Amino acid sequence: MSKELLLIFTRNPERGKVKTRLAASVGDDAALEIYNFLLRHTRDITRELDVDKQVHYSETIRENDLWDSEDFDKVLQSGVDLGERMKNAFEKGFRDGYDKIVIVGSDIYDLSTEDIRKAFHELKSSDIVIGEAQDGGYYLLGMTQLHPKIFQNKNWGTNTVFADTVSDLEGLSVFYLSVRNDIDVFEDLLGHDVFDQYTKKLNE
């Protein structure tokens, strides 16, 4: 068993339940297509990483989907909100014997394999690694032991999450990754391959 664990948090790809802010502009069908595109991107950039990998589903575990069980362990999220679900995933990972754990979402098209490799590398000398998202959240969080405070008293899904989390890191050594953009609203699509695929479909 590797001592490094990557947690990939994902929503089950169901029409009307993913990318709802984006769907307000492009419709539920297109939003679902775009989300599936982002899932495939996340799978592709993580598949070859030499760490243990877990996909944490929001609603139910899918056995025959794009996440190959040979590459990814499949887990169901548990907890009443995002903070508790992430905390529980980290807590179980450390309990299982991992000493470096990184969590990412599944909708960061700007995220690369090298970003994740760098996060694990920096955990050799830092307590925390965090990557700020342009919308005020974060797209990656890594740690070498559980710090429960990070996951408490946050307004998840708002533009204060990153700043509020950073305020909880006082006294810890922190490495900050480059800022990345996630895909939440129509404007986030501009300039991305995912936008090209969407517009190509419109013109078919």
Q: Which amino acid is at 63?
A: E
Percent of the chain exceeding pLDDT 70 equals 78
* C-alpha atoms less than 13 angstroms from C-alpha of 138 in its C-beta half-sphere: 27
* C-alpha atoms less than 13 angstroms from C-alpha of 170 in its C-beta half-sphere: 4
Return the CATH number at 134: 3.90.550.10
- In DSSP notation, 43-93 reads HHHHTT-SSEEEEEESS---SSSSS-TTT-EEEE--SSSHHHHHHHHHHHH
* pLDDT tens digit sequence for 75-109: 999 999 999 999 999 999 999 999 999 999 888 88
Mean residue pLDDT across the chain: 85
Query: What whole-number distance in Å separates Cα of residue 111 and Cα of residue 106?
Result: 9
Rg over alpha carbons for the chain, rounded to the nearest Å, is 17
Q: What is the pLDDT of residue 108?
A: 84
Secondary structure (3-state) at 137 = coil
Q: What is the pTM of this model?
A: 0.87
Query: What whole-number distance in Å separates Cα of residue 62 and Cα of residue 85?
Result: 19
Picking from 119-123, 152-156, 164-168, which range would have the lowest pLDDT averaged per residue? 152-156
Query: What whole-number distance in Å separates Cα of residue 43 and Cα of residue 66?
Result: 8
Structural tokens at position 46: 């993580």
Q: What is the pLDDT of residue 52?
A: 97
Give the pLDDT band (50/70/90) at residue 49.
very high
- How many domains does the structure of the chain reveal? 1
Domain span holding position 19: 4-202
Asked if 186 and 121 count as a contact pair (C-beta separation under 8 A), the reply is no
113-122 and 28-46 are packed helices; what angle lies between their axes, rounded to 10 degrees?
50
Q: What is the pLDDT of residue 190?
A: 54
144 pLDDT more than 80: yes
- In DSSP notation, 139-199 reads EEEEESS--GGGGSS--TTSTTHHHHHHHTTTTS-EEEEEEE----SGGGGTTSHHHHHHH
Cβ within 8 Å of residue 123, ≥6 positions away = 100, 102, 129, 142, 143, 144, 175
Secondary structure (3-state) at 12 = coil
Q: What is the pLDDT of residue 16?
A: 47
196 pLDDT more than 50: yes
Q: What is the pLDDT of residue 199?
A: 52
* pLDDT tens digit sequence for 52-69: 999 999 888 988 888 999
